[in-house]
Structure 1
Amino acid sequence: MIRNVAGMVLLAATLLFNATAYSRVTLRTIWGDNIVIQQNSEILISGTANRASKVVVTASWNPGKRVVVYADKDGSFQAKLLTPKGSQQYYQVCFDDGETLCLNNILVGDVWFCSGQSNMEMPVKGFRGQPVTGSLDAIVTAKATRSIRLFTVKNAWSTTPAFNSVEGKWSAAGPEAVADFSAAAYFFANKLNQVVDIPIGIINCSWSMSKIEAWMSREMLAGFPAIAMPDPEQKEFGWTAGTPTLLFNAMVQPWQGFPVRGMLWYQGEANTGNPQLYKKLFPEMLKGYRAFFHQQQMPFYFVQLAPWKSDHKDSLDWAQFRQVQLELSQELTHVGMVHTVDLGDEVFIHPPRKKEVGERLALWALADAYGVKGFTPTGPVFQSASVKDGAVEVTFKYGEFGLNPENAPVEGFEIAGSDGHFLPAQAVVINATAVVKVWNEAVSMPVQVRYCFRNYKTGNLVNNFALPAAPFSYTLTK
C-alpha cells in the first residue's frame, strides 16, 4: 500500500513537472485567430511561456525565418516581427516553447482604431427603440469571407495602466458579428475595403456617455492641474466613463505595441458643457495617441456633433461646441472632420444615418491617407467673409467645383447688425463660384453671419458632391 501511494505521488510529480516544463504559450487577447495585422510594420507580440524557456516564433509570410526569444523569470516574453505588404493571402504565426501554439486565418492589411461614446458604440442593429437606417440590408448581406475583421473591446476601467489584456476577440464580418458591431466603424471599414482592396481590421473601443478626459492618460492630462486624477486605490466612481484616465488605462493601454493605420473619433456630447476646455484637451489627446501608436502624423478623423435640440432647439450650447470642433479641424494636420448638419434628429441624440457617417469618414481616409484623387472628401467649410453693398459674401473651401443649390434659395443663414440681434437671412450662391451672398433688408450694416448655428437647425448648402456645409459663426468686425 505504501509502495502504491509513493508511486502515485511520483507519477503526479512527473505530470506536474512535464506540465510546467512544456506549458502552452499564452498571448494577450489582442492577438488571436482571424486577426488583421498592420502591413509594412514592426509588430510587438507579448505573451507568457514557461519561465526562462526559449520561444521560437515563425510567420508563414517569411518561410524559413525563425525569431528566437527567451521568457524571463516570470515567464513573460516579447517577440518582434516585420510584416509584409497587405494582400488577400491568409497567414499563420506559430509559437513553440516545447508545445506549439498557432494563430490561424491571419490577414495583413490596414488596422483602424475607433473610439468615442455612444454614437460610436451604437451597433449596426441599433439601440432598443433607436434604429440605424439601412441596418437590415447591411446585416443580411454581410459575408464572413470578406477581408474585414472586427474587434470590440468590452467596457472596462482601471485607475492605473493595464498592460496585459482586454476582453474581446477578432471576428470575421458575418451577419451576427456585424449586427453587434459599431455602425459608424463598420460602414467605414466596408467602404474602405471596397476601394483599397486590402484587408481592413477595425477596433471598436468606445463607451457610452464617456468624456474625453476618460480616454486620456495621466501624461496627456499633465498640463491641466485643475483636472483631478482618480485615487489609484479608489474602487467606486459616480461617473466611471467621465473620470479622467480610467478608460484609457483599461481599454487603450493594452494595445501598446500594436501598429494601426489611423484613428476614428466620435465623441463630444459629454463635453458640450465646456467647449473651450475641450478645445485645449483635444490637441493634447491627439498628440498623445500619435505618440502611443508611434506615428507623429497618424491620420485622425472625427465626427462633428449632429443637430439635436438638447434643452431647446434654439439654444446655442451644442452650436458653440460644433464651432470648436470646426476650428480644431482647421488648425490640426492630418485631421479631418465629418459634417453631419444633414443627419441630425431633433429628439434623438443618436441620429440613425450612421451609414453616411461611416462612409464620410472613409472619404477622408481615402483622400488623405490613401491619396485617392478626383473628389472632394468633405463639404464646404467657411473660409472668409466680407461686406459688399450691404450684403455679406461668404467664401467657402471645398467648393471649387461649385456650390448648390444654384439659382434657388440657400436655407440656414442668419445675420445680425451691431445690436447682435440675429434675423433669418436670404442667401444665394453666386453662380459658378464658391461664394454665397447673404443679406436681410432690415440689416443695413451686417456685423455677424452664421449658418445652422443653433442646437437643432438644418440647411441645404452642399458642394457638387452633395456633401453638406459645416455650421459656423463669424464676426466681421469687433
Structure 2
Amino acid sequence: MSVYASSFQSHSSLCSFNSEPYPSQTFRSDFNYCYETPSKKGQWVRSSAKTPQRDVAGEWWSNTPDNVANTSAVAYLFGKYLNEVLDVPVGLIVSTLGGSRIEPWMSREAMDKFAGYGYEHLEEGAKDNPWNDPCLLFNAKVAPFTDFPVKGFLWYQGESNRHNADDYDSLMASMVCDWRARWGGGEEMPFYFVEIAPFRYECNDGTSAARLREAQANALKKIPNSGIASTLDAGNYNFIHPVDKFTPAERLAWMALTDTYGLTGFGSHSPQYESMEIKDGKIYINVKNAPNGLCPMWTSLSGFEIAGDDRRFYPAFAEIEERSCRLAVSSDMVKEPVAVRYCYRNVPEMSVYNVAGLPLLPFRTDDWD
C-alpha cells in the first residue's frame, strides 16, 4: 500500500493505495477503492487538530463515476494505472486542504528540528490557521492512519512554500523520515512526489517557483528511495489548475512500477543535472538518468541561459552533442562563461527529454541569489 500527500497547485492531499485486500472485505481486482479523509457522507469536512488524533472523518468509496468525480484526479489515475498493470485491487487514502504549506502536514517532532516556528496555536482555545500553522493537518489527517499498513508515499505540494523555498528540501526530508518511522517501514518505503507545474505567479519570468523546483530536486539527494515526476510540459502559465492530470499520474506510476514493484523495460526517472565542464568558450553539461541519451538531437534547444563572471545571464545556444549526448551551451555575448541555467523561471521554455520522454529537471550551476 502507499500513501499520497499533495498539493495540486492550490490543493494539498494525502493519499494511500494498497495492492492487497483488507481483512474482512472483498475487493474486485478491476476496481480502485478510495478513502476520502475530508469527506463524510458525501460532505466535505475541513478538519484540523491541535493534538494527534486516532480517528478521522471520512469513508471508503468504490470506483464509480459519481465517486471518482469527487476525488483527486492524480491519485485516482495513479491507482488506476497500477490496477491495470498489476491486476490487483488498489486502495487510495486521500487527505486534502487546498493551498496549504508543508509545515501543517508535519508532526511536532519533525518540526522541532527547525528554528523560528512557534506552537502557541496548539494551545487549547488559541486561534490557528490549518493552511499555515505546523502540525494541524498532520494531527487530523495523517496521525490517524499510522497504524494502517501502507506501501509508500506520494506527495504533490509546494507552491505555498515558494517564499521559504530555501528550507523546503530539509522540511520535506524531515517529514518523510518522520512518516517512515511512524509507519515502521524505514528507508525502503518509497516516497514519490510531483514537481510544481509552471504558473505565472508574480510574473512569467519570476523565479519563486524555480527556487521551489530547485529545492524539490535537492530533496532527491536527502530522501533515500525517492523520485520526482516532472510537470514542466504539463502546466498552464495562466491557470493554476492545469487540466492535464494524466501526465503526473502516469509518471508517478512508472516510478512505482519500476522501483517498488520491480518491472523493467522502460524509463521512469527524469534526467537531472550532474556536472559541468568549461572548455573553449562553452559549458558542457552532463546529466544522469539518461542511459540512452537526450533528445531532440540535431536542433537548437530553448530554455538555456549562460553567464560570465559579471553574473549577467544571456539567452544561450544549446544542443546535444552527437557522440557524448552531453549538452553544449554557449553564447556570442559571453566569451568566458562560468554558469548555466535551464528552465529557471516560473514559466520556463522547456525543450529537453531523455529517450523515455521524461523532461530534464530544471537546474542552475551557480549559487547566486
Structure 1 residue 175 and structure 2 residue 59: aligned?
Answer: no
Q: Deviation of residue 437 (structure 1)?
A: 0.7
Structure 1 residue 332 and structure 2 residue 223: aligned?
Answer: yes
SS of 1:387's equivalent in the other structure is strand
Structure 1 residue 415 and structure 2 residue 306: aligned?
Answer: yes
Work out which of the residue numbers 280, 288, 292 in structure 2 matches 1:401: 292
Looking at structure 2, the residues matched to 282 and 122 of structure 1 have their Cα atoms a distance apart, in angstroms, of 14
SS of 1:194's equivalent in the other structure is helix
Q: Deviation of residue 119 (structure 1)?
A: 3.8
Looking at structure 2, the residues matched to 225 and 159 of structure 1 have their Cα atoms a distance apart, in angstroms, of 20
Looking at structure 2, the residues matched to 331 and 436 of structure 1 have their Cα atoms a distance apart, in angstroms, of 26
Unpaired segments of 5 or more residues in structure 2? 14-27, 39-45
SS of 2:51's equivalent in the other structure is coil
In the TM superposition, structure 1's runs of 4+ consecutive aligned residues that sit over 3 Å from their partners are 118-123
Q: Under a length normalisation based on structure 1, what TM-score does the superposition of the two structures give?
A: 0.69
Spell out the pairing of 1:364-379 with structure 2 (5 A cutoff). Answer: 364-379=255-270
Corresponding position of 2:327: 436
Corresponding position of 1:251: 141
SS of 1:272's equivalent in the other structure is helix
Can you list the C-alpha shifts for 1:132-153, whole angstroms capped at 9, x where unaligned? xxxxxxxxxxxx8723111111
The 1:331–1:252 alpha-carbon spacing in structure 2 relative to 1, beyond 3 Å, is closer
Structure 1 window deviating more from structure 2 (430-439 vs 243-252): it is 430-439
Can you list the C-alpha shifts for 1:160-201, whole angstroms capped at 9, x where unaligned? 1111x2111112111111111101111111111111221111
Looking at structure 1, the residues matched to 171 and 353 of structure 2 have their Cα atoms a distance apart, in angstroms, of 31
Corresponding position of 1:192: 82
Looking at structure 1, the residues matched to 89 and 32 of structure 2 have their Cα atoms a distance apart, in angstroms, of 6
Q: Deviation of residue 235 (structure 1)?
A: 5.1
Cα pair 1:117 1:209 within 8 Å, conserved: yes
Report the AA paired with residue 389 of structure 1: D
The 1:121–1:185 alpha-carbon spacing in structure 2 relative to 1, beyond 3 Å, is farther
The 1:476–1:261 alpha-carbon spacing in structure 2 relative to 1, beyond 3 Å, is closer
Structure 1 residue 264 and structure 2 residue 154: aligned?
Answer: yes
Work out which of the residue numbers 187, 190, 201 in structure 1 matches 2:91: 201
Work out which of the residue numbers 258, 270, 290 in structure 1 matches 2:180: 290
Looking at structure 2, the residues matched to 122 and 225 of structure 1 have their Cα atoms a distance apart, in angstroms, of 24
Looking at structure 1, the residues matched to 72 and 137 of structure 2 have their Cα atoms a distance apart, in angstroms, of 18
Q: Deviation of residue 225 (structure 1)?
A: 3.8
Q: Which has the higher contact order (CA 8 A, sep 6+)?
A: 2
The 1:407–1:205 alpha-carbon spacing in structure 2 relative to 1, beyond 3 Å, is same
Can you list the C-alpha shifts for 1:400-421, whole angstroms capped at 9, x where unaligned? 1121111111111110111111
Corresponding position of 1:234: 125
Cα pair 2:10 2:241 within 8 Å, conserved: no
Can you list the C-alpha shifts for 1:69-99, whole angstroms capped at 9, x where unaligned? xxxxxxxxxxxxxxxxxxxxxxxxxxxxxxx
Unpaired segments of 5 or more residues in structure 1? 1-110, 124-143
Corresponding position of 1:214: 104
The CA RMSD over aligned residues, in Å, is: 1.9
Looking at structure 2, the residues matched to 357 and 432 of structure 1 have their Cα atoms a distance apart, in angstroms, of 31
Q: Deviation of residue 221 (structure 1)?
A: 1.0
Report the AA paired with residue 150 of structure 1: C
Report the AA paired with residue 395 of structure 1: N
Q: Under a length normalisation based on structure 2, what TM-score does the superposition of the two structures give?
A: 0.89
Looking at structure 1, the residues matched to 304 and 276 of structure 2 have their Cα atoms a distance apart, in angstroms, of 13
Looking at structure 1, the residues matched to 363 and 109 of structure 2 have their Cα atoms a distance apart, in angstroms, of 33
Looking at structure 1, the residues matched to 10 and 93 of structure 2 have their Cα atoms a distance apart, in angstroms, of 11
Report the AA paired with residue 462 of structure 1: Y
Cα pair 2:30 2:88 within 8 Å, conserved: no
Can you list the C-alpha shifts for 1:29-65, whole angstroms capped at 9, x where unaligned? xxxxxxxxxxxxxxxxxxxxxxxxxxxxxxxxxxxxx
Looking at structure 1, the residues matched to 10 and 79 of structure 2 have their Cα atoms a distance apart, in angstroms, of 13
Cα pair 1:188 1:362 within 8 Å, conserved: yes
Can you list the C-alpha shifts for 1:108-143, whole angstroms capped at 9, x where unaligned? xxx2221123448489xxxxxxxxxxxxxxxxxxxx
More strand by share: 1
